[in-house]
Chain A
Amino acid sequence: MTRTVIVGGSVGGVKAAQALRSGDFDGEIVIVEQEHLAYPYDKPPLSKAHLVSDTGTDGVPLVSEDELSALGVTWRSGTAASGLEIASKEIVLADGERISYDDLIIATGARARPSPWGDGPRIHLLRTSADAARLRAVLHATRRLVVVGGGFIGAEVAATARSIGAEVTIVDPLPAPMSRALNEEIGQIFADKHAAEGVKMLFATGVEGIEDDGTRALVSLSNGERIEADAVLVGIGAVVNTEWLEDSGLVIDNGVVTDDHLRAVGADDIHVIGDVCRWQHSDGTGSTRLEHWTSAADQARLVAHNVLSPENARSYDPVEYVWSDQYDWRIQIVGRTGVTDSQLLGDPADDRFAVAYSEDGVHLTGAVVVNWPRALISARRAVQNHENAAEFRASLERMLAVPVASAL
């Protein structure tokens, strides 16, 4: 019987197993997960409502134990993979066990970038359910939370902590929250939202150090100020988990480098998905690595297909999609949204708006949508089909001209 080994039991690995089975893969599937878990859990909720909900400290399941066994998956959790031997087609686990594979799917993801200011008792990272459990244990008693990093994790935790009344300060060297992903002008809309919700923001400000005097943390800033905190969340990005592959011979460059079919360069039986995947574009325009839930799920389906039909392997050509919940705003981001050519549709003061981005001034290449489901559907189609940006904007303007039916 053939065996597909999946290293990494988060969204990418689990979706790959599901897609293999729905594609009638009848071989053995082994998932190796380094965290000791009864079932795989989903990461996006950890920084959102789950952080303050009363549903228990365990993660939200990606699939239940029953569903996992119905999939016929051998769930090997609690031991990390420590090596890969391509010639003998085996992975090596930290406890010395070796598992051979016919196909290998690498889905080891990324971990939170460690705090450069130490890991004192009041300093938190947020990536795993254990991180979330540690933060939620203190969050209700936290009067003053300092969030270092105004990216998605930082902005979400700030919003979640505000919802239970904490005084929150966001510190970031960049000029506005999420400005790397959305551009500075649009990031400012979100800065205004956080300000309106009572978050203090220190943008264009760095952190020099974090001390702990036994009763509180003291965060020293580049502007010379020192602010007090009962808890500090350091949300400054992620680092790919590729150390276990260093001696494997695979090409590592801030991720495992693959061809456009998501096969590791030089090894057609090794597939790479999720945060750890850096794929080369089919048109030779470079390589990309994404840290998105939906990308991991899409890539999982694609490599499942490629495992099942290697002679008919598909190329990966995504439309990115990310969501974030902050206060009463559901923020949905489609395509590529970093460019400065962006146009606002609707009014953020109405809590419903969209932003259209165009990289070439003609086609819609990305969109941000807040609390506007129809515009989201429209944006996902328009970006997928490379539609004209002006036509997309006109269609949203027409929607805006029609009053929204009362929710009552």
Chain B
Amino acid sequence: MTVVVKADFAACQGYANCVVGASDYFDIDDDGIVVLLKTDVPESEIQRVKDAAHSCPVSALKVVEE
């Protein structure tokens, strides 16, 4: 089982809350759309990345098991 972070690029509005929450996972490009710097989330970082994902105002980020 792997935990991964997924982005809905069409929903993203470039609010950048995710970048503030976890700048090693998320960035925003010049068009204001999220960039996933990595997608696999190790056990020890799940809570931090989930918190960053939940801070998205348009729920564009999900942390899910695959």
Contacts of B32 in A (CB 8 A): 330, 373, 376
B5 at the interface (CB under 8 A from A): no
Known contacts A22-B47, A330-B14; A377 and B27 CB within 8 A of each other = yes
Known: A19-B54, A22-B50, A330-B32. A376 touches B17 (CB 8 A): no
Contact A294 to B55, CB < 8 A, known contacts A374-B30, A377-B27 = yes
Chain A interface residue count: which class? 20 to 34
Task: Give the A-B contact count at a CB cut-off of 8 A.
Answer: 63
Query: Does A306 sit within 8 A of B, measured CB to CB?
Result: no
Cross-interface CB contact of B29 among A42, A293, A373, cutoff 8 Å? A373
Q: A376, B31: Cβ atoms under 8 Å?
A: no
Pick from B17, B51, B57: contact of A22, CB under 8 Å: B51
For the complex of A and B, list the 7 residue pairs with the smallest distance between their C-beta atoms, beginning with the closest. Answer: A373-B32, A22-B50, A373-B28, A373-B14, A18-B54, A297-B55, A301-B51
For the complex, give the distance between the alpha carbons of A384 and B17 in Å. Answer: 13
Q: Is A87 an interface residue (CB 8 A)?
A: no
Asked if A407 is at the interface of the complex by the 8 Å CB criterion, the answer is: yes
- Tell me the smallest distance from the CB of A42 to a CB of chain B, in Å: 8
B61 at the interface (CB under 8 A from A): no
A44 close to B (CB within 8 Å): yes
Query: Residues of A contacting B13 with CB < 8 Å?
Result: 330
CB pair A321 B17 closer than 8 Å: yes
Complex alpha-carbon distance, A52 and B39, angstroms? 36
CA distance A15 to B17 in the complex (A): 14
Residues of A within 8 A of B (CB): 15, 18-19, 22-23, 42, 44, 62-63, 293-294, 297-298, 301, 319, 321, 323, 330, 332, 373-374, 376-377, 380, 384, 404-405, 407
**Contact in complex: B47, A332 (CB < 8 Å):** no
B46 to chain A, nearest CB (A): 8
Chain A positions within 8 Å of B31 at CB level: 373, 407
Tell me if B37 counts as interface (CB < 8 A to partner A): no
CB distance from A350 to the nearest CB of B (A): 15
- Measured between beta carbons, the chain B residues less than 8 angstroms from A44 are 57
Contact across chains for B57 and A294 when beta carbons are under 8 A apart:
yes
* Residue in contact with B54 in the complex, picked from A22, A321, A330, CB distance below 8 Å: A22
Q: Given A373-B16, A377-B16: A15 and B54 within 8 A (CB)?
A: yes
